[in-house]
Amino acid sequence: MRWESGNRITLLRNGTEFFPALAASIEAAQHEIHLQTYIYELDATGAMIGEKLKAAAARGVAVHLLLDGFGSRKLPPEYVLEMEAFGVKVMFYRPKISPWSFKRNRLRRLHRKVSVFDGQHAYVGGINIIDDMNVPSNLDAPRVDYAVRVDGPLVLSIHASVRNLWRRLAWMHLREVSAYPNLPAPPFITNGMRAAFVVRDNVLHRRDIERAYLKAIGKARVDIIIASAYFVPGKKFRQALIEAAKRGVRVRLLLQGRMEYWLMFATHEVYGLFLRHGIEIYEYRASFMHSKVAVVDSRWATVGSSNLDPFSLMLAREANIMVQDKRFNAELKADLEKAIAEKSVQVRPEDWSRRHVFKCAFSWIVYVVVRLMIGLVGSKEKH
C-alpha cells in the first residue's frame, strides 16, 4: 500500500450525489474514459449514463466500459451492440457462467467500481450503475451506498490500474488494444489529503485490503465504526475486533437489517461472539444498505467495493480508497452515526440470546454452507 499526499477526496452519498457527478465527468471528458463496474442495469440511470458514454465516444473520446459477466448478465445484448456502434468499447469480465461449476473462477468476479477521466480525476466506491430505488421490495427508500471522487497524484495509480486491467483482458479476449493517449499528470493539491488506492486481486494483491483493515484496527485507541452489507469476517478479522474491544475501543458494526439474499443469514452466526465481547451491533432497517466503509479513530477511513466476507476478501477483484484526514473522517463518521441513531435498530445481547432455536440453527447452517462453498471452489487460505 502506497500513501500519496496532495489529494482531494470528496465523499459522495448514494446515487443522488454520485450519478450527477459521474455524468458531468463523462460530458467533460476530452480524451479517455475508463468505467469498470459489477452491475450495469438498463434502468433510467443506466440509460442516462449510456447516452452520455455514447455521446462521448461519438465526439472522439476513447471510451472503455468493463462489466462483470455475472453482475451485468441482464444487460441486453442488443444494447451492448448499440453502444459499440457509437464507438464505446465494451468488454465483459468472465462472461461465461456455468450454474453447475464449482471451480474457483466461478466466484472470481469483477466487483470493483472504478472510473477515470482523462487521467485527471477518478471515482472509487461501492455504487453500481443502477437506480437507488431499484431494490428487491416495495420500499419507498433508496439503497444506501458510498463513493468518493479522487483528485490529485493518487489518480496516477488508479489510472494505471484500470488501463492495465483493460489491456490484460483485451489480450485474453484477442481484442485489439489501441495506443493510449499521453495525458498530463494530475496536479498536486496544496494542503491536500493523504490517501491510498488499495486493490484485491488473485495474483499480487490477494490480501491487501484485509491487511489494511487489520492494521488500522490493531492501532485503534478510541473507536471503530464499520458499515458492511455482507459481513462474514474470517478468524483473524474477528479476533482483531475482539482484541480492540478488550483494550477499551468502542467497536460499532452497522450491518444490513433486511435480508436481500438467504446467504446473508450467515452474518448472524457471528453476532453472539461479538455481543459477548461488548461489540455493538446495529441493523440498518430503513432500506437496503450496500455500504462498504469504515472509520477508525480520527486518522483512518476507507470507502470502496470490498465487503467483509469470504467472496470479497478471497475471490473478487475489489478496490478501496484509504484516507488519513481528520475532516474527511469526521464527515464520514457523522454520516454513519446519523444512520445508526435514526435508521437502525440495536441488537442487544439479552434479545439475541432469546431468539428462536430455529433461527439459530438456520444461521449456523447458512454459515456452514458459505464456508463449504469457499472450500469447494478451491481456497487453500486459512480464513
- The dihedral built from the CA positions of residue 33, 35, 40 and 41, taken in this order, carries a sign that is negative
Q: Which residues have CB under 8 Å from 259's CB, separation 6+? A: 265
Is 297 noted as a catalytic residue in this protein? yes
Residue-wise burial string across 49-82, b where 16 or more C-beta atoms lie within 10 A, e elsewhere = bbebbbebbeeebbbbbbbbebbbeebeeeebee
Task: Read off the DSSP letter of residue 277.
Answer: T
Is 68 noted as a catalytic residue in this protein? no
Q: Catalytic residue among 113, 121, 268, 333, which?
A: 113
Query: What DSSP letter does each residue of 204-267 carry, written as one string?
Result: S-SSHHHHHHHHHHHH-SSEEEEEESSB---HHHHHHHHHHHHTT-EEEEEEE-S-SSGGGGGG
Residue the block writes with cell 469476517: 233
What is the longest distance spanned by two Cα atoms in the chain? Answer: 63
Is 103 noted as a catalytic residue in this protein? no
Is 351 noted as a catalytic residue in this protein? no
Terminal CA-to-CA distance of the chain, rounded, Å? Answer: 21
Say how many CA atoms lie within 13 Å of 150 toward its Cβ.
32
Spatial CA neighbour of 110 closest among 97, 92, 124, 96: 92
Is 338 noted as a catalytic residue in this protein? no
- Contact between residue 4 and residue 157 where contact means Cβ atoms under 8 Å apart: yes
Is 383 noted as a catalytic residue in this protein? no
- Cell digits of residue 335: 454520516
β-strand pairing of 344-347 with 4-13: unpaired
Q: Catalytic residue among 223, 277, 297, 383, which?
A: 297
Q: Catalytic residue among 54, 290, 333, 343, which?
A: 290
Q: Catalytic residue among 118, 208, 325, 335, which?
A: 118
Q: Catalytic residue among 292, 325, 333, 343, which?
A: 292
Tell me how crowded residue 221 is: count the other CB atoms within 10 A of its CB.
12
- Contact between residue 293 and residue 308 where contact means Cβ atoms under 8 Å apart: no
H or E segment and range at residue 343:
helix 326-343
**Separation between Cα atoms, residue 15 and residue 239, nearest integer Å:** 34
Q: Catalytic residue among 34, 52, 54, 111, which?
A: 111
Residues serving a catalytic function are: 111, 113, 118, 290, 292, 297
